[in-house]
């Protein structure tokens, strides 16, 4: 599955979350670190859902950019 992630610049680092997986968040010092950490966070989150016998949410978030003047 392919999940959209939202990456936000914070003071001194970055934070990220997955809109389709509430509670799945991470932080990192670089975008590359965020991407690595988020992959691990998603895998961990999905493993936890499976262990609990809970449904795995389908990715439904769509991302795009809009040019503004």
* Residue with tokens 């997986």, as numbered in its chain: 21
Q: In what order do the strands lie in the sheet with 25-28?
A: 6-9, 14-17, 25-28
Tens of pLDDT, residues 28-37: 999 999 999 9
Taking alpha carbons only, the member of 9, 5, 2, 42 closest to residue 28 is: 9
Reported as half-sphere exposure (CB side, CA atoms, 13 A), residue 32 has a value of: 0
pTM comes to 0.87
Report yes or no on 12 lying in a domain: yes
State which residues form the domain around 27. 6-51
Tell me the pLDDT band of 1, cut-offs 50, 70 and 90.
Answer: confident
Report yes or no on 59 lying in a domain: no
Domains: count for the chain: 1
Q: Quick check: 20 pLDDT over 90?
A: yes
């Amino acid at each position: 599955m392919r999940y959209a992630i939202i990456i936000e610049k914070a003071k001194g680092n970055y934070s990220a979350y997955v809109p389709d997986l509430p509670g799945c968040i991470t932080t990192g010092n670089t975008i590359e670190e965020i991407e690595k950490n988020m992959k691990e966070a998603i895998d961990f989150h999905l493993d936890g859902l499976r262990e609990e016998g809970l449904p795995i949410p389908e990715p439904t978030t769509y991302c795009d950019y809009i040019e503004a003047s």
